[in-house]
Structure 1
Amino acid sequence: MGVFVVQVVGGQEDRAAALIAKIAQGAVEDCFVPKREIMHRKAGQWHRILEKLYPGYVFVQTSMPEQVREALGRVPAFTRMLTSAGDTCLPLTADEVAWINATTNVDTHVMEMSEGVIEGDRVMVIRGPLKGHEARITRIDRHKRLAWVDMDMFGRHKAIRVGLEIVSKK
């Protein structure tokens, strides 16, 4: 059983995930779009909203990737499974799957807000999915309640935005 990545049109991730799950019904164990919970300020009030963690991608858990890839041809939207140069379906590495499982809720696939404190020049996360992953944080925007986290995903190095509220600074 592996987790494979399907590239889709940006903004259509949820619709594409539902279509893939329906069309490749017997071959797909789980089809999901990982999301992050962030704080957004609107009309002077802070609200929790969900954004896509990896825009333009749908994650498919399956033990039959070739059947899923074949079923993608019947999806009435742009869908393409990420493959190697030899046209072989590439699953996420064990480290990438472990990162997703450690930071997102298993049932909802949502990375919830984290809370932290700043002591001197160090960030210490006290609650949330970033706890224990402080070394990956490269930048913090305290005003927008965001942190940038370095990670390797899809075979390349990238920084993703996640929710982090700094509750105190010492």
Structure 2
Amino acid sequence: MVGEAYSFGGEKMNWYVVQVRSGHEKQIAEKCRTMISNDILTECFIPEYIHKRKFSGVWHDVKDVLFKGYVFMITDKIDLLYSELKKIPDFVKVIGKKQAEIYPLDEDEIAFMKSFGKKGHIVDMSIGFIRGDKIYITEGPLQGKEGLIVKIDRHKRIAYLRLSMFNKETTTKVGLEIISKC
């Protein structure tokens, strides 16, 4: 079942993801936003996450793409959207002659995305600690989602998550500051 996103003018909008070449997400999303009418494409976005990166001896907040190779689109007119996507030159170059893969998100995936990347579809840093071999998240979007964490890189301040998204298991990264380990 395709999940419903927003109630827009009394109509329910569905969420979709379009697979694109990794590294081209922002260019494709911008072309979609400028070339496709708002009547067809309600919203086009790329979820991002904030993490820490050290350069010049100082830690900085940096944004990266949460799901590399995917652009999220919200519409209630998928057939018209698909036709419009074919008119975008960069999009055609990315997918070539094969058919574009457009995946509908189900209600659980939409609920997860809404709870995880709130304002502006950006996932904030989480803060937590490790006691024994158990992870405790005290602040941030990972709170209550500790079971999704499969690996932590404390040096890079990154948590690797295993998620069921887009009809498959996928691994993604989010920012996580571990303040203590005991």
Does the pair score TM above 0.5? yes
Match of 1:119 in 2: 131
CA deviation map 1:5-47 (0-9, x unaligned): 1122322212211211222212111110000111111122111
Match of 1:17 in 2: 29
Match of 2:45 in 1: 32
Deviates more, 1:69-78 or 1:18-27: 18-27
CA deviation map 1:38-94 (0-9, x unaligned): 1111122111100001112110001111111000011111256424xxxxxx41111
Match of 1:75 in 2: 88
1:145 to 148, 152, 157: 157
TM-score scaled by length of structure 1: 0.90
The amino acid across from 1:150 in the alignment is R
- Residue aligned with 1:78, SS: helix
1:46 correspondence with 2:65: no
The amino acid across from 1:143 in the alignment is H
Deviates more, 1:56-65 or 1:38-47: 38-47
1:108 correspondence with 2:108: no
The amino acid across from 2:139 in the alignment is R
Instruction: Give the Cα separation in 1 of the matches to 2:48 and 2:24.
Output: 14
TM-score scaled by length of structure 2: 0.84
CA deviation map 1:75-134 (0-9, x unaligned): 111256424xxxxxx4111111111111102x3111110000112211010000000001
Q: Identity over the aligned pairs, expressed in percent?
A: 35
Runs of 4 or more above 3 Å deviation: none
Instruction: Give the Cα separation in 1 of the matches to 2:157 and 2:170.
Output: 20
Instruction: Give the Cα separation in 2 of the matches to 1:125 and 1:138.
Output: 14
Match of 1:86 in 2: none
Match of 2:4 in 1: none
Per the TM alignment, residue 159 of structure 1 is displaced from its structure 2 partner at its CA by 1.5
More helix by share: 2
The amino acid across from 1:20 in the alignment is C
Structure 1 unmatched ranges of 5 or more: 84-89
CA deviation map 1:132-156 (0-9, x unaligned): 0011111111111111111011111
1:169 correspondence with 2:181: yes
Match of 1:56 in 2: 69
Q: Give the aligned length.
A: 163
Instruction: Give the Cα separation in 1 of the matches to 2:134 and 2:78.
Output: 43
Match of 2:6 in 1: none
Structure 2 unmatched ranges of 5 or more: 1-12
